[in-house]
Structure 1
Amino acid sequence: MNTTWKRWGAGCLTLVMTAALLACGGGGDDDDDAGEATPTALALSELGRYTSPQGETAAEIPAYDAASRRVFVVNGALGSLDVLDLSDPAAPALVQTLGVDAVGAGLGGINSVAVRGGIVAVAIEAADKQQPGTVAFLRASDLALLGQVQVGALPDMVVFSADGRTALVANEGEPNADYSVDPEGSISVIDASDPAAPVARTAGFAAFNGQLDALRAAGVRIYGPGATVAQDVEPEYIAVSSDGKTAWVTLQENNALAIVDVESATVQSIEPLGYKDHRVAGNGLDPSDRDAGVDIRAWPLLGMYQPDAIAAFRVGGQTYLVTANEGDAREYDTFAEETRVKDLTLDPAVFTDALCGGPCADDDRLGRLNVTAALGAGADGHTALYAFGARSFSIWDAAGTLVYDSGDDLEQRTRALPNVLFNAGNDENALDNRSDNKGPEPEGVAVARFGAKTYAFIGLERVGGVAVYDISTPAAPVFATYLNTRDGDAGDLGPEGLVVVPAADSPNGKPLLIVGHEVSGTTAVYQIDLAY
């Protein structure tokens, strides 16, 4: 939706296109506490760490198998799968590294992993990632290859249904560098009831190609050069309902969500996610890396939610959804949408000095902020600015209505840390380094239920650490704790994937949180300490 603002009134303008969202990333959406005691407080403590010798990108997505007490970690540096022994969670140890050659020839790297009932599913891109990829099924205890099946281009995330009989894969379908080849995005629905003979069906988007104008008008970003709807959508993360009948798929670059009927393997709808109004009190941000410090306040711009990970939970028999609103831009050799505000022509009737406390395009105001050039242009210059991501996590109901957004809370809580500077990047400890580009950048999310309480664990990709909120009252989450185990430019850097291990499945009888850190190449094991 290209919204033009001719005046900035004193009132609150809310531009939120609702969408349906559900879950992934750890924890299901069942709200039965099975008589478990309810904690009064939750904290995280560092327990153990495995550091890959490959370093950067060597620890991305983790998954855990209770029977074998193994953690399976995507090693992006090698395009392989590291298998860790977690028998002693204080000292994770490498068992072996599984390369794609164990699956077959002509394959690229492993992108994602999921585990259910002793079966490991790995999503593997082709050597030419614009070609169809593969999902392989392995036995967790000995890594024996059981079966494999072809899926769509660039399988980027795999997840099991609760009963383990179905695996679903988000096939991102990214174009090549010069955009001359742009494969269709899709979701593969795999019958994995017999992992030795998996059968895949494709939930595609070709049926929406004739709805391009209507989808754009509704707020879905379809903007790749010459792309159809099916080519332009890029499935990122999948959530599956507890009954296995419905899946929700984030289309991050499109700022949208796809709702999939699993039984028929069809995409039911594409829903726009809308925009966060950063002019509203509590929705502020620090937009500049040249303002000599922390300056979190309201600014005249919108944020595209663009979630990466999503997770579902249930309260009172109703399903709610939590998203980590990371943001992402398309940057290719022949097509790039990201630009700084100061490089745009701003409509002077809209972006007045009074609005920004001085010239809006100055470096210490909005000038350095990265925004999309693909939205907001008017006859006299840009009349609206759209930043990537929302620097927040959001909660939605199952119908897609926004119930809660954390506003500027993540930036506020990371503004004065003893071990890392405000909005530092994940590869150096520099003050304000990421203020002009998505701030703390929430990327991963997992949910877990303890007694009658449900908690969301939010990984902050740039400044680092995991923020935890009690989301048992979806409209009013309560901050629980925040743990950041980096030390300047060392320690755990760049959290990406998170998985919660329930106490019943844990080697030490305590619930655990396992986090893959892609920049430091570390897999961290945190103990979830519950007080009663």
Structure 2
Amino acid sequence: MKNYLLPILLCIFLVSCKKDSAPEPEFFVNEDPATFEEIGSIDIGDVGAAEITAFDPATNRLFVVNNGTVNKIDVIDFKDPQHMVVINSINMAPYGGAVNSVAVYGGKLAAAIESVDKQANGKVAVFKTDDLSEVKVINVGALPDMITYSPDGKYILTANEGEPNTTYTNDPAGTISIISVADNYSVNTIDFAGYVGQKADLMAKGFRIFGVGNDFVKDIEPEYITISADSKTAWVTLQENNGIAKIDIAAKSITNIFPLGFKDYNAAGNEIDPSDKDDKFALAKWPVKGIYMPDAIVVLEQNGIPYLFTANEGDAREYTALTEVKRVKDITLNTTAFPNAATLRTDAQLGRLNITTTLGAKADGTFEALYSLGARSFSVWNGSTGNQVFDSKNELDIKVNAANAYDDARSDDKSVEPEGITIGKIGNKQVAFVGMERADAVAVYDVTDATKPAFLQLLKCGDAPEGVLIIPAKNSPTKKSLLLVSSENDGVIKVYTPKTI
């Protein structure tokens, strides 16, 4: 009897093992990424509210940075995105000053919090998402501006901007903190001292070091982080410096700095409208360079290549001890470089355009080249080489203007000002969402081929969108993909979803 039963039991055991080891089928909803529509909205304050959001699928809660009247993280019940409700908040007063960013993984909320003294080291505070109890507080570098978990949840990274005080008497180093979650949240904070010897070469390629004292380590200001799917590599935008740093997470080291160079507004497809006094949207070629200076960054890996998508916002340093921006009409153009200097300096042409005074000047104080802040676009870069493989040129301006959302009052500065960017899989396509601070809109692009993004639609949102977040259908309370856009000037969070096919 036993001889007959053993083979049967063995077969049952083997079938059971095979069944247990089989991968779960991928959750799929056939959605059309060109059909996003608003389905919900909530207002949680005014200026400074609703900057960045993070979602916890375990509790169906949103965690929202709110530095409006009180520095806090608001907790929103997100079970029904059409009827969101603020149910609690976490006061940041015990931890420092303003909270700048939040991230969620595995039932834990991590928050990046600057010190009351912005030049002092900041903190990362970790809380449980269910009862909001404190898990750990970790010291990081000065002014942690963005925080993220690695995809495997083993690390928390912060980009510590290290801005100077207004007199430049205290300028902390820009750093990146790498926190090992499993190792009781141990932290390594790294700076850029190892690249001091490459300063001249980097600057020759468009990297910027221009603060008071020109101190390489102190002048670098990390802004935003993205991490590879295997959780081994991070890329960090260095916005004011016009570069991207590459990080080996396990080795806790910076492995490369990619200078981003400049954009030529005198080239076909890059035409801009540089005047806010012409009462019209008028794109034309101009003898001006754009400095990419990206804010947000996100990685999309295809065919073994990490493609880095950046929102090329631009940002000026404006301090008592250093103000880099002037209008073209307030500088002297070199007449050899600009034979038509007098005409260019009129308000209807380049006179109103804001440019940096840190580039393009000759020894005699005249300018032989003009560099404006930002690139009025989003770009795609090869994350292994730093080479640009795509730029949206002036398409964002064109699409926003076609939607009657273009603000001509911003033409002299950074135009639509792309600031936030994220990517998610919608249906069977990879889709990028580009938040534009001055257009109060989000551009939606099909990036299934990362080297050839294709415009799909434009979504109007709140005032000055800061955060763009995709909740994949498998984690969504509606079991459909959700786009969340949080806006810092009016405290409004809007939720969008696509139609199913």
Q: Compute the TM-score of the two structures, normalised by the length of structure 2.
A: 0.91
1:81-160 alignment to 2 at 5 Å?
81-101=73-93, 104=94, 107-160=96-149
Question: Which of the residues 464, 471, 480 maps onto 1:510?
Answer: 480
Instruction: State how far apart, in whole Å, the 2-side matches of 1:301 and 1:440 are.
Output: 18
1:199-220, CA deviations, whole angstroms, 9 ceiling, x for partnerless residues?
A: 1001211222343333323321
Q: How much does 1:456 deviate?
A: 0.5
Question: Which of the residues 423, 430, 434 maps onto 1:458?
Answer: 434
The match for 1:525 is 495
The match for 1:190 is 179
1:425-471, CA deviations, whole angstroms, 9 ceiling, x for partnerless residues?
A: xxxxxxx1101010000000010113542110000101111100001
Q: How much does 1:529 deviate?
A: 2.9
Q: How much does 1:157 deviate?
A: 0.4
The question of whether the paired residues in 2 share the 8 Å contact of 1:203 and 1:265 is answered with yes
More helix per residue: 1 or 2? 2
Bigger Cα Rg: 2
Q: What one-letter code is carried by the residue in structure 2 that aligns with 1:313?
A: L
Instruction: State how far apart, in whole Å, the 2-side matches of 1:528 and 1:142 are.
Output: 32
Question: Which of the residues 375, 393, 396 maps onto 2:378?
Answer: 393
1:407-418 alignment to 2 at 5 Å?
407-418=393-404
The match for 1:371 is 355
Question: Which of the residues 383, 394, 403 maps onto 2:389?
Answer: 403
Q: How much does 1:129 deviate?
A: 1.0
Instruction: State how far apart, in whole Å, the 1-side matches of 2:381 and 2:26 are.
Output: 25
The match for 1:479 is 455
Structure 1 position 269 matched with structure 2 position 256: yes
Q: What one-letter code is carried by the residue in structure 2 that aligns with 1:239?
A: T
1:455-509, CA deviations, whole angstroms, 9 ceiling, x for partnerless residues?
A: 1000010111110000112232111111114xxxxxx111011110011111111
RMSD of the TM alignment (CA)?
A: 1.8
The question of whether the paired residues in 1 share the 8 Å contact of 2:468 and 2:483 is answered with yes
The match for 1:299 is 286
The question of whether the paired residues in 2 share the 8 Å contact of 1:113 and 1:120 is answered with yes
The match for 1:498 is 468
Q: How much does 1:310 deviate?
A: 0.6
Question: Which of the residues 54, 57, 72 maps onto 1:66?
Answer: 57
Structure 1 position 170 matched with structure 2 position 159: yes
Q: Say if 1:139 and 1:35 are closer, same or farther in 2 by CA, change over 3 A.
A: closer
The question of whether the paired residues in 2 share the 8 Å contact of 1:100 and 1:108 is answered with yes
Question: Which of the residues 334, 342, 345 maps onto 2:321?
Answer: 334
1:234-280, CA deviations, whole angstroms, 9 ceiling, x for partnerless residues?
A: 00001111111111110000001111111121112222111011111
Instruction: State how far apart, in whole Å, the 2-side matches of 1:219 and 1:316 are.
Output: 29
1:167-246 alignment to 2 at 5 Å?
167-193=156-182, 197-246=184-233
The question of whether the paired residues in 1 share the 8 Å contact of 2:192 and 2:254 is answered with yes
Q: What one-letter code is carried by the residue in structure 1 that aligns with 2:261?
A: G
More displaced, 179-188 or 221-230? 221-230
Instruction: State how far apart, in whole Å, the 2-side matches of 1:450 and 1:365 are.
Output: 42
Q: What one-letter code is carried by the residue in structure 2 that aligns with 1:302?
A: K
More displaced, 261-270 or 177-186? 261-270
1:294-339, CA deviations, whole angstroms, 9 ceiling, x for partnerless residues?
A: 1112111100000000111122343212110000010001111011
Q: What one-letter code is carried by the residue in structure 2 that aligns with 1:95?
A: I
The match for 1:16 is none
Q: How much does 1:416 deviate?
A: 3.7
Question: Which of the residues 20, 24, 44 maps onto 2:36?
Answer: 44
The question of whether the paired residues in 1 share the 8 Å contact of 2:32 and 2:498 is answered with no
Q: How much does 1:379 deviate?
A: 4.6
Specify the SS of the correspondent of 2:344.
coil
Greater RCO (Cα-Cα under 8 Å, separation 6 or more) = 1
The question of whether the paired residues in 2 share the 8 Å contact of 1:255 and 1:305 is answered with yes
Aligned residue pair count: 475
Q: Say if 1:188 and 1:41 are closer, same or farther in 2 by CA, change over 3 A.
A: closer
Instruction: State how far apart, in whole Å, the 1-side matches of 2:151 and 2:434 are.
Output: 22
Identity %: 44
Q: Say if 1:41 and 1:177 are closer, same or farther in 2 by CA, change over 3 A.
A: closer
The question of whether the paired residues in 2 share the 8 Å contact of 1:376 and 1:384 is answered with yes
1:343-381, CA deviations, whole angstroms, 9 ceiling, x for partnerless residues?
A: 11111122233xx9x811110111101110000012562
Structure 1: which 5+ runs fail to align?
A: 1-32, 424-431, 486-491
More displaced, 363-372 or 446-455? 446-455
Instruction: State how far apart, in whole Å, the 2-side matches of 1:348 and 1:38 are.
Output: 59
Q: How much does 1:39 deviate?
A: 5.0
The match for 2:237 is 250
Q: What one-letter code is carried by the residue in structure 2 that aligns with 1:141?
A: D
The match for 1:467 is 443
Specify the SS of the correspondent of 1:276.
strand
Specify the SS of the correspondent of 1:87.
coil
Q: What one-letter code is carried by the residue in structure 2 that aligns with 1:445?
A: I
The match for 2:367 is 382
The match for 2:330 is 343
Specify the SS of the correspondent of 1:524.
strand
Structure 2: which 5+ runs fail to align?
A: 1-24
Instruction: State how far apart, in whole Å, the 1-side matches of 2:380 and 2:30 are.
Output: 22
Q: How much does 1:40 deviate?
A: 5.5
Instruction: State how far apart, in whole Å, the 2-side matches of 1:50 and 1:145 are.
Output: 27
Specify the SS of the correspondent of 1:346.
coil
Specify the SS of the correspondent of 1:323.
strand
The question of whether the paired residues in 2 share the 8 Å contact of 1:182 and 1:227 is answered with no
Q: What one-letter code is carried by the residue in structure 1 that aligns with 2:52?
A: I
Specify the SS of the correspondent of 1:312.
strand
Q: How much does 1:38 deviate?
A: 6.0
Instruction: State how far apart, in whole Å, the 2-side matches of 1:210 and 1:405 are.
Output: 31
Specify the SS of the correspondent of 1:214.
helix
